[in-house]
Structure 1
Amino acid sequence: MTQSPSPTLPGSRAQTLASAESLVSAYEKAGYTRAHPGILQLAEPFLDLSGEDIRARMFLTSGRSGEELCLRPDFTIPVSRDYLTSEVAGRPHGYCYLGPVFRDRGALPGEFLQAGIESFGRSDKAAADAETLALGLEATAHFGMDTPDIRMGDVGLFVAMVRALDLAPAWKQRLIKDFSRKASLAQDLDRLSLATANGRPDYQGVLAALTGSDPKAAHALITDLLSIAGISAVGGRSIGEIADRFLEQSALDASATLPPYTRSLIERFFSISSDPLEASATMRSLAHDAGIVLTPTLDLFDARNAEIARRGIDLKRITFSSSFGRGMDYYTGFVFELRDGTGEEPLVAGGRYDDLLTRLGAPEPIPAVGFSVWIERLAGGAS
């Protein structure tokens, strides 16, 4: 439940809570329903769907029946799950929230306050994205910061480009998965390039035999071999997880190839950094030169830019970077962060996550976009 300011709190803390309550009340007046997800959550959705950074910082415990639980590290997944069990599931509906989240942050407090919104089911994606950015800017203005730095990216553009490339499906999936992990993505490109230059590894025959075989049979074979070898777990991974990882590697190694031109194209894409209008022109030129089709994704990008401008936000204020992503695995399109120009951490951050609801059990895809506000950072407290 959301906490109200208490007379026993220090003055600055009470003022921060009062300001946060005022912000979320404004979101309610704008049509967003107040959400109150539980603090104690099932851990599995966060472990499966969040990024590495969140997974490494979660506070975990176990229930009496052995189920793994956690203190909520984020609001997006709990609010999404509550939406899916509500009477409005599948229909356009927006939620706002305010409350503590919990992450291990070393010397910083493990409990901190977040506000935010989540918007579900809107088919007018460009308008919904622009509204989300505008409401995020209202949060910084509410705390006295009228012109924060705006960083913007679009995961969907990288996904569209990779899907248009002449790469094996396993490698397309791997590159997309590692988009927000820049070190891993660079390693992927190096590995593909080296495989192209050096040829297949000596054990390629074994890997090729597994690739294309029945997935269940291949998984059973690997788990049996690991059991015979006396291997039960490595690095916290179960035999089943080790088998999954090995089969993934077999698919990757069996199809490893990256012509220099393709790598150059990817690196050219990642070098794009400018305001959104200039970036759109650069990306259209890149797609034309490479003979790949990015038109639908770029059309959505341009429509979003028009909606942002229509809301009075100067596009020249925005720094768009094609390589910019966020640490959550579930983002699928538009992403953004608002910063104060000096801090290394965002004050407001979010984006579009259209695939998350189906991964949480929705029978059909449901568009979704939202953001979180770090209240103490905006109020000038610990980050």
Structure 2
Amino acid sequence: MFPAASAPIEPRDPSSLEDALLAAFDAAGFARIHPPILQPADVFLDLSGESIRRRMYLTADAEGRELCLRPDLTIPVARAVIAGGMRMPARVSYLGPVFRFRGEGSGEFRQAGVESFGRTDIEAADAEIVALGLNACALYGLPQPQIRLGDVGLFAALLEALPLAPALRRRLLKDFGQGRLDADLGRLRDRPQEGASAHAGVLAALAGADPAAARALITDLLSIAGISTVGGRTVSEIAERFLEQSSLEAGAGLSAETAQILSRYLSISGTPDDASARMRALTAEAGIDISAALDVFDRRSGFLTAYAVNLADVRFSTAFGRPLDYYSGMVFELHDPKASISDRTAGPLVAGGRYDKLLSRLGAEHCVPGVGLAAWVERLAALDLSAEAAR
């Protein structure tokens, strides 16, 4: 447990509030680290996709290796934890500038946050991170932010339980949280569609082939042709897309029954307890078993209650994810309830979630459980200024 936020300290200036936020993280057992600002660009492109390139500030070293100003701090912190050989569990905090074109103001802004690596009691660790985010909002004068909760792990468990081709399962999971699933469900239902594909010959040759060999073949062909990217996609992403298409052209699309189950699942929202009951009812009716993932969900709700989070104030949605494919479980955002949901410039005050595969994808020898949050301190400071003006 960590100390509850007290009234914001005086004088109420941004640096004092940042100091208080770091002190709260330190009191909770998170030691501050300082990852480098300049990072290898390929790490972010591999984990976040080529679409992030247009929002990054890029440069190159003398050998031509592509570098970037860090567009977030989670990945640099994770890399620093691996490079430093930190013993697990490791609890770290950070505060500093990040650099990303946002279209809403300066490309340089400040983030604070915490990352918890190596804890195996994942439900308790998840709840602690949400509580720390609420504590950060309270420190800046917002004791009751809007709490949005989702769960990538639940959706992944549902996909595993459904009769889906592996390529299609990967496609749906990749699109989760990016606003493309509704289009996917309509486009992929009852494939193959009428009409020949423009790449029917290639797709037919790949149908039923060993995935690793097919991927290597496509990659070699593209490399021989001198193609490195197409429409922002890397060679590996193009190869994966061809494999997906060959699977779909072979008739491995969504059946009407499976599409209906997915649509019904993605329409569930409400408090965690209500949503859990509805998910259990749906899966029982459909004859599929995701009880292990739902048990994790329910245990996390219990730990949230233990951290004095009122579940009636939590808005859970099965369709809510975050557009980074390294998330593997709980995702959450804290918003100013006075801000319009349609006001995209407002953005979350705090956001985070679970990413159990991140360290292994960055080079760690083993899969290490991880969960964390990022706080947009300038958005939080604007809340504080608004509260002061209202006095």
TM-score by length of 2: 0.87
Look up the SS of the partner of 1:380 in the other structure.
helix
* Counterpart in the other structure of 1:264: 260
**Offset of residue 209 of structure 1:** 2.4
Q: Which runs of 5+ in 2 are unaligned?
A: 1-9, 386-391
The one-letter code matched in structure 2 to 1:166 is P
The one-letter code matched in structure 1 to 2:355 is Y
Look up the SS of the partner of 2:191 in the other structure.
helix
Answer yes or no: is 1:112 the counterpart of 2:109.
yes
- CA offsets per residue over residues 267-302 of structure 1, 9 Å max, x none? 100111100011111111111001111111000000
- CA offsets per residue over residues 11-65 of structure 1, 9 Å max, x none? x999212211211122112211101001111111111112666443111111111
* Counterpart in the other structure of 1:5: none
| Aligned partner of 1:57 among 55, 58, 68 | 55
Q: Which runs of 5+ in 1 are unaligned?
A: 1-11
Question: How far, CA to CA, are the matches of 2:225 and 2:40 in structure 1?
Answer: 34
Answer yes or no: is 1:325 the counterpart of 2:321.
yes
* Counterpart in the other structure of 2:74: 76
Answer yes or no: is 1:174 the counterpart of 2:171.
yes
Q: Is the 8 A contact 2:167 2:243 kept in 1?
A: no
The one-letter code matched in structure 2 to 1:302 is D
Aligned length: 369
Question: How far, CA to CA, are the matches of 1:168 and 1:333 in structure 2?
Answer: 22
**Relative to 1, partners in 2 of residues 1:78 and 1:166: Cα closer, same or farther, differing over 3 Å?**
same
Look up the SS of the partner of 1:195 in the other structure.
coil
Look up the SS of the partner of 1:319 in the other structure.
strand
**Offset of residue 212 of structure 1:** 3.2
| Aligned partner of 1:296 among 277, 292, 297 | 292
**Offset of residue 312 of structure 1:** 1.1
- CA offsets per residue over residues 120-175 of structure 1, 9 Å max, x none? 00000010001000000010000011111101010111100011101111101111
Q: How does 1:199-348 map to 2 (within 5 A)?
A: 206-215=202-211, 218-219=214-215, 221-222=217-218, 234-235=230-231, 242-343=238-339, 344=343, 345-348=347-350
Answer yes or no: is 1:360 the counterpart of 2:358.
no
RMSD between aligned alpha carbons? Answer: 2.7
My pick for the range that moved more, 147-156 or 100-109, is: 100-109
* Counterpart in the other structure of 1:18: 16
**Offset of residue 231 of structure 1:** 6.4
Q: Is the 8 A contact 1:226 1:232 kept in 2?
A: yes
Q: Is the 8 A contact 2:191 2:248 kept in 1?
A: no
Look up the SS of the partner of 2:93 in the other structure.
strand
The one-letter code matched in structure 2 to 1:173 is R
* Counterpart in the other structure of 1:135: 132
Q: Is the 8 A contact 2:192 2:248 kept in 1?
A: no
* Counterpart in the other structure of 2:100: 103
The one-letter code matched in structure 1 to 2:110 is L
The one-letter code matched in structure 1 to 2:76 is P
Look up the SS of the partner of 1:341 in the other structure.
coil
Question: How far, CA to CA, are the matches of 1:301 and 1:348 in structure 2?
Answer: 21
**Offset of residue 186 of structure 1:** 2.5
Look up the SS of the partner of 2:363 in the other structure.
coil
**Offset of residue 107 of structure 1:** 4.8
The one-letter code matched in structure 1 to 2:151 is D
Question: How far, CA to CA, are the matches of 2:79 and 2:273 in structure 1?
Answer: 36
Answer yes or no: is 1:122 the counterpart of 2:119.
yes
Q: Is the 8 A contact 1:156 1:333 kept in 2?
A: yes
**Relative to 1, partners in 2 of residues 1:38 and 1:143: Cα closer, same or farther, differing over 3 Å?**
same
**Offset of residue 188 of structure 1:** 2.2
* Counterpart in the other structure of 2:389: none
The one-letter code matched in structure 2 to 1:285 is A
Aligned identity (percent) is 53
Look up the SS of the partner of 1:41 in the other structure.
strand
Question: How far, CA to CA, are the matches of 1:50 and 1:13 in structure 2?
Answer: 39
* Counterpart in the other structure of 2:187: 191
**Relative to 1, partners in 2 of residues 1:65 and 1:203: Cα closer, same or farther, differing over 3 Å?**
closer
Look up the SS of the partner of 1:88 in the other structure.
coil
Look up the SS of the partner of 1:269 in the other structure.
helix
Question: How far, CA to CA, are the matches of 1:350 and 1:240 in structure 2?
Answer: 28
Look up the SS of the partner of 1:182 in the other structure.
coil
